[in-house]
Structure 1
Amino acid sequence: MKNDKSKIPEHCKKYVQGVKDTQDLMSGKWKTVIIAALYNTGKFRFMELVRHIEGISPKMLSQELKDLEANNLIKRKVVDTMPIAVEYELTSYGKSLGNVVDAMSDWGMRYRKAVFAK
């Protein structure tokens, strides 16, 4: 009987599917950065996020926030002030990405140091 190397173990399929699901939820240039900003700081108003996240346009931020809210990763709260403001923060489900964001930040800082320090 021939050894069929094309059969992938079930645990490997589930592992890769989990990575794909996470990637799909956080796809795009800005979602992970938005999550990191909210995870690190707690709450931001819309324009604070625009100023905090270098290079993002208000239109793109608005679109990404809507996607993140639709996927239950952030919550939007209208603040009754004059003028009315909107605050964004991570949901408890969004906060569960903290270890992922921390690992990405740690790796990125080590990479930057190793590559750009030369």
Structure 2
Amino acid sequence: MKINTILQIVALVFLVIIGYISFNSGSNWKIIKSELDRAREELKISKDTLAATKINLQKSLKEINKLKLQKDLVTHKRDSLLLDFGEKNAIDWDHKMKLQDSLKKIQDKITVETKLLDSLFGL
């Protein structure tokens, strides 16, 4: 009987020690939990910001495509007029060439920007 009593006392002491350790480490868990909650909230905010940015960039890409279509329409009309008028009868051939060069540069810039947006967001 005495051995059982001694074992019960030893077990009780171990339980008290384990309870004390658990109680003291509980405050550390609270700190860790609060930091995780804060990090989770920051991640949610970042995710929302990224989603809004992606939507804005998609809208910008649509606008760029609209501008590209408008430019293509203007280019087509211009080319049609120039073909009708003919190279020999053009009053200002240099002006025509400058317009073509300018439109080519704009087209190249739109193409580069479109590729950049596509590569950024995998659209």
TM-score relative to the length of structure 1: 0.28
RCO higher in 1 or 2 (8 Å CA, sep ≥ 6)?
2
As a proportion of its length, which structure holds more strand? 1
TM-score relative to the length of structure 2: 0.27
As a proportion of its length, which structure holds more helix? 2
Greater Rg, structure 1 or structure 2?
Answer: 2
